Amino acid sequence: MKLLVIGNGGREHAMAWKLIQSPRVQKVYVAPGNAGTAQEHGIENIAVTTIADLIEFVKTENIAFTIVGPEAPLAEGIVDTFQAAGLKIFGPTQKAAQLEISKRFAKDFMLQHNIPTAAYAAFTQAEAAHQYVDRQGTPIVIKASGLAAGKGVIVATSTDVAHAAIDQILVEQRFGNAGSEVIIEEFLQGIEVSFIVMSDGQHVLPLATSQDHKRLNDGDTGPNTGGMGAYSPTPFIPPSLHAQIMREIIYPTIQGMAQEGASYTGFLYAGLMVTPDKQVKVLEFNCRMGDPETQPIMLRLKSDLSILIEYALNGTLDQVETEWDRRVALGVVMTAGGYPDNPAKGDVIKGMPELMGKRNEIHDFHIFHSGTAFGGENGRELITAGGRVLCIAALGDSLKIAQQRAYEIAEQIDFKNAFMRHDIGHQGISYLHKSS
State the nearest-atom distance from the C-beta of 402 to ligand AMP, in Å. Answer: 22
Alpha-carbon distance of 210 to 206, in angstroms, equals: 12
**DSSP codes, 85-125:** TT--EES--TTTTHHHH-HHHHHHHHHHTT--B--EEEESS
Residue 9 sits in the site that holds ligand GLY (CB under 6 A): no
Per CB under 6 A, which of residues 239..278 are in contact with ligand AMP? 271
Q: Which residues, 6 or more positions from 4, have their beta carbon under 8 angstroms from its beta carbon?
A: 28, 29, 30, 31, 54, 57, 58, 61, 63, 65, 66, 67
CA 90 to chain centre: 16
Q: What 3-state class would DSSP assign to 296?
A: helix
State the nearest-atom distance from the C-beta of 392 to ligand AMP, in Å. Answer: 22
Interacting span for ligand GLY (CB under 6 A) from 112-120, 284-292, 347-355, 424-432: 284-292
State the nearest-atom distance from the C-beta of 7 to ligand GLY, in Å. Answer: 12
Residue 286 sits in the site that holds ligand GLY (CB under 6 A): yes
Q: What 3-state class would DSSP assign to 172?
A: coil
Alpha-carbon distance of 104 to 368, in angstroms, equals: 34
Q: In the complex with ligand GLY, which residue's Cβ is closer, 151 or 345?
A: 151
Alpha-carbon distance of 87 to 78, in angstroms, equals: 11
Q: Give the angle 359-288-15 at the CA atoms, nearest 5°.
A: 0
Q: In the complex with ligand GLY, which residue's Cβ is closer, 70 or 396?
A: 70
Q: In the complex with ligand GLY, which residue's Cβ is closer, 11 or 18?
A: 11
Q: Which of 212, 310, 347, 423 is the binder for ligand GLY (CB under 6 A)? A: 212
State the nearest-atom distance from the C-beta of 293 to ligand GLY, in Å. Answer: 6
Residue 153 sits in the site that holds ligand AMP (CB under 6 A): yes
Q: In the complex with ligand GLY, which residue's Cβ is closer, 212 or 310?
A: 212
Interacting span for ligand GLY (CB under 6 A) from 157-165, 201-209, 236-244, 286-294: 286-294
Q: Which of 70, 73, 227, 375 is the binder for ligand GLY (CB under 6 A)? A: 227
Q: Burial code of 75-95, b = ≥16 C-beta within 10 A, e = fewer?
A: bebbbbbbeeeebbbbbbbbb
CA 272 to chain centre: 13
Dihedral pair phi/psi, residue 412, rounded to 5°: -80, -20
Query: Site size for ligand AMP, by CB under 6 A?
Result: 16
Q: Which of 83, 136, 217, 224 is the binder for ligand AMP (CB under 6 A)? A: 224
State the nearest-atom distance from the C-beta of 214 to ligand AMP, in Å. Answer: 5
Residue 187 sits in the site that holds ligand AMP (CB under 6 A): yes
State the nearest-atom distance from the C-beta of 187 to ligand AMP, in Å. Answer: 4
Contacted entry of ligand AMP, ligand GLY, none for residue 290, CB cut-off 5 to 8 Å set by kind: ligand GLY
Residue 185 sits in the site that holds ligand AMP (CB under 6 A): yes
Q: In the complex with ligand AMP, which residue's Cβ is closer, 229 or 375?
A: 229
Q: At what angle do helices 426-435 and 399-410 cross, to 10 degrees?
A: 150
Q: What 3-state class would DSSP assign to 361?
A: coil
Mask of contacts with ligand AMP, 123-142, x by CB under 6 A?
------------------x-
Query: Site size for ligand GLY, by CB under 6 A?
Result: 6
- Residue from 359, 389, 357, 358 nearest 373 by CA: 389
CA 76 to chain centre: 18
Residue 293 sits in the site that holds ligand GLY (CB under 6 A): yes
State the nearest-atom distance from the C-beta of 122 to ligand GLY, in Å. Answer: 22
Interacting span for ligand AMP (CB under 6 A) from 57-65, 147-155, 172-180, 379-387: 147-155
Dihedral pair phi/psi, residue 239, rounded to 5°: -50, -40
* Structure letter (DSSP) for residue 419: B
State the nearest-atom distance from the C-beta of 279 to ligand AMP, in Å. Answer: 13
Q: In the complex with ligand GLY, which residue's Cβ is closer, 133 or 332?
A: 332
Residue 192 sits in the site that holds ligand AMP (CB under 6 A): yes
Q: Which of 9, 233, 256, 290 is the binder for ligand GLY (CB under 6 A)? A: 290
Residue 291 sits in the site that holds ligand GLY (CB under 6 A): yes
Residue 341 burial (10 A CB sphere; 0-12, 13-18, 19+): exposed
Residue 365 burial (10 A CB sphere; 0-12, 13-18, 19+): buried
Residue 214 sits in the site that holds ligand AMP (CB under 6 A): yes
Q: Footprint of ligand AMP on this chain (CB under 6 A)?
A: 118, 141, 143, 150, 153, 155, 185-188, 192, 214, 224, 271, 283-284
